[in-house]
Structure 1
């Protein structure tokens, strides 16, 4: 009888242990299924695990956008600075342009001057062109200091409204222009014929001789003549005088 009871106790303990293992195994499957369910979003995409490294999860979402803010978790968020590259390039180009303050002034050896009629009769204006033929960059300050007549030693006065915001900086081969008023036109007793005249550049004492346009030259009136400032192009309004 003792042997029977002992066997019964052993069998009961074995059954209990087997039942415990079975329940544990079932609980494991349920836990795994719950984890899988919790780890699956709509469309079957895996969600970020709560135990994952925070930076890794944020970085994964960042990589889906090409040229976006970048993988913030991995420290590569600087990738978003790519959009600033064009700005940097523009800044580099702007920095590469000659500075007015550091560009040397043009001398008579740097430029070639030419005068052309602006319009047809009565030929009230001429256009003075200064072309940089030096092979280097130089600066034209102010306006051309013009003397038409030996009897009038003063320079032709400048028109203030034609003054540009900054002096003209000419690269090699570039031109600058100045509009010059000669007279009111027509035949007048105060008009005097001119076949050539002199121009001095601001900052230089050397005189440049310029041939007047036309076979008969030009007619000037000391009471009416005026000159515009050097500019990159003749502007409507500012050079209408």
Structure 2
């Protein structure tokens, strides 16, 4: 009887051990199955959400790429960079450098004439300097004018009439300078002038210029002024 109970006990223990062994095997296979399925689930999740991730900027590499692409596109497609003040400034500087390299006009290649600007009474005249050479030349500054033998000083120049860019004359092209003679008052100390002298800046050659009109012009040396050479006659811009 004891022997039968002992065998029964052994069989019970053996069955329990086998059940535990099978349970352990099943649990182990479940773990393996779970770990094997994890990459697939991860890949599926990433492929499904990758577009949203990059657009939302949650992926560090994707966000950097998007920002870099946007900046690159903006830089390549930007039109403002070509029209920036710095670019405009560079173009202006190039123009000034080109003008500086052009030889200065001299009395040998420029013809100076005078014409009445208003009147009567004529209070202003306009000087015209025309390039008579076969090459371009630079006409700097203002005309150095002396109206009377008794007044050897040059007529003062008006600073506000100075042009922003150097004046370069192509062959046959003119430049202009407005010259004030007087205030037009009958009580002024005017003197008649039929001809006067002009010299160009940087050239000591004296150019004799005939005064406009059959009776010449009346000049008050205390009121006389001259403007700078400009490429166009700026009516009203240089009133003085």
Q: TM-score, normalised by structure 1?
A: 0.63
1:176-212, Cα deviation, whole Å (9 max, x unpaired): 3322223444888954251x43311122221223333
CA distance, structure 1, for counterparts of residue 63 and residue 101 of structure 2: 54
The residue number in structure 1 matching 2:217 is 219
CA distance, structure 1, for counterparts of residue 16 and residue 183 of structure 2: 137
Count of matched residue positions in the alignment of Structure 1 and Structure 2: 223
Instruction: Determine if contact 1:132/1:175 at 8 Å carries over to the other structure.
Output: yes
- Give RMSD over aligned pairs: 4.7
Q: TM-score, normalised by structure 2?
A: 0.64
Instruction: Determine if contact 2:211/2:217 at 8 Å carries over to the other structure.
Output: no
1:25 matched to 2:33: yes
Instruction: Determine if contact 2:126/2:179 at 8 Å carries over to the other structure.
Output: yes
Higher helix share: 2
CA distance, structure 2, for counterparts of residue 44 and residue 193 of structure 1: 89
CA distance, structure 2, for counterparts of residue 21 and residue 82 of structure 1: 64
The residue number in structure 2 matching 1:62 is 68
CA distance, structure 2, for counterparts of residue 237 and residue 86 of structure 1: 29
1:122 matched to 2:100: no
CA distance, structure 2, for counterparts of residue 82 and residue 191 of structure 1: 61
Q: Which runs of 5+ in 2 are unaligned?
A: 1-6
CA distance, structure 2, for counterparts of residue 222 and residue 184 of structure 1: 8
Instruction: Determine if contact 2:114/2:128 at 8 Å carries over to the other structure.
Output: yes
Q: Which runs of 5+ in 1 are unaligned?
A: 70-78
Instruction: Determine if contact 2:167/2:229 at 8 Å carries over to the other structure.
Output: no
CA distance, structure 1, for counterparts of residue 147 and residue 175 of structure 2: 20
Q: Judging changes above 3 Å, is the alpha-carbon distance between structure 1 residues 157 and 95 closer, same or farther for their aligned structure 2 residues?
A: closer
